[in-house]
Structure 1
Amino acid sequence: MPTFVANIAGQYVVKLLVNDGKVASAQDTVAITTTGGNTAPVANAGPDQSVQVNASVALKGSGSNDADRNSLTYDWSIVSIPSGSTATLSNPTAVAPSFVADMAGPYVIQLVVNDGTVNSRPDTVTIAAAAGNTAPVANAGPDQTVAVNASITLDGNASTDADRNALTYQWALTGKPAGSAATLANATTAMPRFTADVAGQYIGQLIVNDGTVHSAPDTVIVTAGVGNTAPVANAGADQTVAIGTTIVLDGTASRDADGNPLSWKWTLTSKPTGSSALLSDPTASRASFLVDTGGEYVAQLIVNDGKVDSPPATVMIKTQVMPPARGIYISRARWNAETGKLKVAGRAPNGTTVEILDADTGTPIATDETGRHGRFRLYVTVRVAPCALVAKANGLTSVRTPIAGAPASCGNVKPRRGDDKDDEKEDESKSGSKQNHERNSKSPLKQNRQDR
């Protein structure tokens, strides 16, 4: 992981070629743009995930950061979803929105953050949903900066498996500096070790297996240096707390490979609308603030060893009771042609009446009340299969949501509904009307003769 100092504002383009000992790769480039004033924030959409179909997927954008320590806003969007999926984000402006992976296949979600002046470059995360066994996800841990001859412990314990199967680990050093004799000890355990015996970069690769299938590989870069090495910030673990709690942020796990004393710089980069939370001492190793409003708080930590800043580290604090989403969304809409049942689920402001309508005709279909978390769920029999739906509540209208399973001739189909009581009543009504019509249509002469 080479470094350079961008000493003049402008764009720097760096190219990379890798070689496996036999052939060179195609060239890849990265552009670094610097300005004399504000720097663009960096979006982090979180790690890729593997989940079961119909799982509720929690995204995590709290790893996003800003070098100027400005407050951030979040803008999530769906780039692609499997064919037939009706997945919708619960709240696209939240730090950690969610969605239901209702079909098997890949879901690609994009995050852009803004520091009040400029947008970040987009970052994406891929969620793979499967109906059977899902592949595990390897996590080789954070990059490290160390001194030459340091003993390094890699950590794969953050690797996961959606099916909760036991994992096995296979580590390899896929890159090391010229002249290094470094080898991994205990390469089939979660935490192998090696000695960084030469200055330069060491690349550790991890693949995990759930007993059925391998994960995609994940890598970690360990940089050993002979001069001053940049410190590493650690903002602590995410927390979920009650409103009214005073939170103590803990940066004491931050470290410096050279053993230099550290200074701390904490910032609240995101807090709920209406919150007046302030950090008690932003330059202490343990800063604190009062959680005064329900929602998500993101704190960023940068440490300095007297010479250079660390990369930012972040931690997210969520309240146990989350505020209602400000918008309204239909997360699932599915049609069952055999029963004529329409299943609709989504979110809207708490305690409101949600009206579901045919998106094309505006015809009301059903209403429901949201629960305390703003969720609604309906199972309703309809006479005609709609093509798409919208939801309305409190003057808000959701985006048009296509109905999964709707026939090509949607809007004109009347499915068989053997258990439909309304149809039975309608048939009885028609039968009674026919009998009345027959009685009334008899001629007065015939009626008089019968009266006699």
Structure 2
Amino acid sequence: MANPGGPYTGQVGVTIAFNGSLSSDPDGEPLTYAWNFGDGSTGTGVNPTHSYAASGTFTVSLIVNDGQVNSAPVMTTATITGATPQNQAPTANPGGPYSEQVGQAITFNGSGSSDPDGDPLTYSWSFGDGSTGTGVNPVNTYAAADTYTVTLTVNDGQVNSAPATTTATITVTPPLNRAPTANPNGPYSGQVGETIPFDGSGSSDPDGDPLTYSWSFGDGSTGTGVSPTHSYVAAGPYTVSLIVNDGQVNSAPATTTATITEAPVSDGQTLYNTSCAGCHGDFDNPPLPLDSGGPGRKALGARVCSIEGAIEGTAVFPNGVPAMQSLKGLLSHEQIQAMSDFLNSRPVTGQQRYETTCAGCHGLDAQGGRVDEEVLGEDAKDIRKAIRKEREMRFLRCLPGSDIRDIGSFLKNLEDDEDDDDDARGPRHGRGPRDGDDDDDDGDDD
């Protein structure tokens, strides 16, 4: 009796082992085996093998023979399915590169990973700082600034992908800039014409940034730097403002005061001057003084001159001061020096025979040599001698009366003293020196 075993199952192209060992003969005769695999193929032996080229359910039959007679055929089945393809490794894709600040969480993205067989994937991450993670979108927070190598490996249930890497660049969050604070120090005090040092070194920046300094001295002048200097040309209280900048933002303005007073007048620094009518105008027809009979009248026979850039006739200075304004007052040494420095840079023409306002006045003698004419202003005679010198005096300046203190009465007294001297010496004609007078009244040539 034949017994083909089964039923059998397999896949296309896969070898199947068949088993007829349960076949038997009642006489104990040895058997031979004849197999039909149902796809047109046959086989022999108790355990033949066969592979099917197509899927389907096939009828397998077995006939055994005891050397004399065949058995009846006995059937079983072989169910063949499509062949399982060979597994292919997946591919990891960690996304990136990534960047973030220290202490801020980063969400990683491995969704670009894939498997050619469509198998589901598992994800294994290494974040480069000793931390690991799983899943398609893990999160990691870095504790220190650096550039980290991030590695992802995926698995399709059978095999790992090759590792894929990207980077995570971690930086330190810059602190928000804080505004600096200006400190102009002060209050300051000084005298007209005096150079005053200002000090902004008390200014600060909470972030330690270097500062630039912008000063406003309250008189229209400005300055820069931590320790600028400035001199004022008029007395008064001034509001001094300082703004500092840290390279990103200005501080709020900080203010202090500078109290400026008139400087005391020392010996030899008294200003004796004429009205501006004696300083500018036509040589032959000089404008009259504002008040020829009062304290502001033209003093001591001053003659005309012209400063380059001024207007002939009823001139005005570039600062708008009328040329006809009378001059009277006291000046400090610093004011005198400031006037001298200004006028020394401006060429003058004509007959400059005017006393200057400094103790050591400079000019040119008839031979073109440089000389010093000392004008102390101690009495009218000294001034008269200075006026009569045939020299080009380089310094001369008319100032508005509001800039200096009134000394009109003093000038008038000087004129009265001169008038008394003139009465004692007899009448005088013209503008030149008196007959018999020399330039010095003391016989020398200084």
TM-score interval, smaller chain: under 0.3
Q: TM-score by structure 1 length? A: 0.19
Q: TM-score by structure 2 length? A: 0.19
